[in-house]
Amino acid sequence: MSTATAAASTSLRPVSPSALRLAGSPRRWCWGAPALSPARRAFHADTRRRKTLLYATDKGPEESLKKTIEVDRLIDMLRDANPRELDQIVVENVLAFDEGFWVRLAARIDLCKSDDDKAWFSQLDFFFKDYEELAENVMNIVDRLVHKTDEKIEQSTDVLKAIISPVMHEGENATWPPRDPEALKLMEKEISNREKEGQLDEGFLSEVNAQLRQAKQDGDKPGLQAMLQKVLQLYASNFLQKRSYAYKGGEVIVPESFLESVIKAPENEWNKLLLDGLTVGKGNVSPEEFYAVIKKRIERVLIRTEGGSYQQRILVEYLKEIQARAEEVVKEPEISITRRETDPNVQKECVLLIPATVDYPDPDR
C-alpha cells in the first residue's frame, strides 16, 4: 500500500458554512460568535431608503420586481401570523432571510405611514406593535436557529475528532494508511460505539462530507482526505451489518451470506474474498447471483432511508463499489488482484472509495 501524507493537526478546521448558517441574516456567525452584519446595520441605519433603491437596481427591473413581490408576500405572512405560527413560518422559509429581505423590511418600516398600516397593527397590538417589533421577533427566531445549527456542527465535529483520533496525533502529519495497524480497529470500535449512542446522524454525515469537500478543495491533504473517506466506509459497513438477510426459513441464502461477508471485510481484502467466493475463482456464487443480491440490497436501502439523504447516498455508493470491484475481478480475475498488490495508483484508488457524488444530496436522483 502507498502512503499519502499531508500536514494536518488533530483539530479539524471549520469548513465553509452551510446554507443553514444564514450568512446574509441580521447577525454574521463565526462558529458561535455573533457580529453585526451589513444587513442589520442597513436595517437600523438612517439611510434605509438609499440602500433599498440600491438593492432594487442591483438586478434587472423584472427580476427585481419579482423578488420584491416574493419578499413582500413573506413579510405579509409574518405580519399576519400569531407567535406560534411565526416560529413555523420562519423555520419553513429560513433560507429566505438574506440581506435583500432585511433591506426590504427596513423599507416597509420606513414606508409604514399610511392609516391602513397603522390600523392593521393596532388590531394586532397583542402580538406586534409595528414592523420594527415584527423584525426583532423574526431576528430572534433566526438567531436561535443559527445558534442551534452551530451547536450541532460543533457536536458533530467533536464526534469526528474522536473517531479519527487513533490515527491523528497532535503536532504530526496526517498519514494514510496509519502506521499502527491497531488504529483502524480503534476507529471501527469508536464508530460502532458512537452509532449505538445515536451520534452518527445526518448532521454527522453532513459534517464529514463538508470536511472531506474542504480537504479536496485544498488539494494538499491527501492523508486527511483518505482518512475521512475511511470514516465513510466504516460507517457504511457498520450500518449495513446491522440487518442480515442471509437466512430464510431456516436455510442459508448463499449469495446473501457471501455479500454480507464482503460488507464486513476490510476493503483491502475484497479482491481476494471475491476470488475465493465467486465461480470465476474458487467459489460457488455466480457473478449474476452476486449482482442480483447487491441490487436487492440497494433497493432495501432506498426503501428504508430518506430519499436524497447523506446516509442513503453513502450506503448506496458503498454497495455499488462492491459491485464495481466484483465486475473488475470477474473481467480480469488474476490481473485485478496482482495490480492491487503492485500498482500504487490502483492502491490509492481503493483507499478513496466513496466518490464525490455524496457532496450534495439530490432527492430527484
- Asked if 39 and 135 touch (Cβ cutoff 8 Å), the reply is no
Nearest CA-CA partner of 234 in 198, 213, 263: 263
- Asked if 73 and 127 touch (Cβ cutoff 8 Å), the reply is no
Domain ranges of the chain: 19-147, 243-365
Q: Among 1-10, 121-130, 193-202, which is the least confidently predicted range? A: 1-10
Q: Count CA atoms within 13 Å of residue 329 on its CB side.
A: 26
CB neighbours of residue 138 within 10 Å: 23
The confidence band for 354, taking pLDDT boundaries of 50, 70 and 90, is: very low
Q: Residues 153-184: pLDDT tens digits? A: 888 889 998 898 888 765 566 677 777 878 88
User: Looking at the predicted structure, is the pLDDT value of residue 114 above 70?
Assistant: no
d(CA 251, CA 318): 27
The confidence band for 117, taking pLDDT boundaries of 50, 70 and 90, is: low
E-strand stretches of 161-232: 174-176
Q: What is the pLDDT of residue 233?
A: 93
Average pLDDT estimate for 322-345: 71
d(CA 148, CA 159): 17
Those residues whose C-beta lies under 8 Å from the C-beta of residue 124, and which sit 6 or more positions away, are 79
**332: which DSSP letter?**
S
Those residues whose C-beta lies under 8 Å from the C-beta of residue 364, and which sit 6 or more positions away, are 308
Per cent of the chain over pLDDT 90 is: 28
Those residues whose C-beta lies under 8 Å from the C-beta of residue 284, and which sit 6 or more positions away, are 254, 277
**46: which DSSP letter?**
T
Q: What is the pLDDT of residue 262?
A: 96
User: Looking at the predicted structure, is the pLDDT value of residue 1 above 60?
Assistant: no
CB neighbours of residue 121 within 10 Å: 17
Average pLDDT estimate for 216-236: 87
Mean pLDDT of the chain: 75
Kindly calculate the radius of gyration of the chain based on its CA atoms and give it in whole angstroms.
Answer: 27
Greater confidence (318 vs 363) lies with 318
The confidence band for 299, taking pLDDT boundaries of 50, 70 and 90, is: very high
User: Looking at the predicted structure, is the pLDDT value of residue 357 above 70?
Assistant: no
What angle in degrees, to the nearest 10, is found between the helix axes of 310-331 and 287-304? Answer: 180
Q: Among 44-58, 223-237, 246-260, which is the least confidently predicted range? A: 44-58
The confidence band for 335, taking pLDDT boundaries of 50, 70 and 90, is: low
290 to each of 247, 283, 287, how far by Cα in Å?
A: 16, 11, 5
List, in sequence order, every residue forming a beta bridge with 30; answer none if it has no partner: 33
Greater confidence (277 vs 346) lies with 277
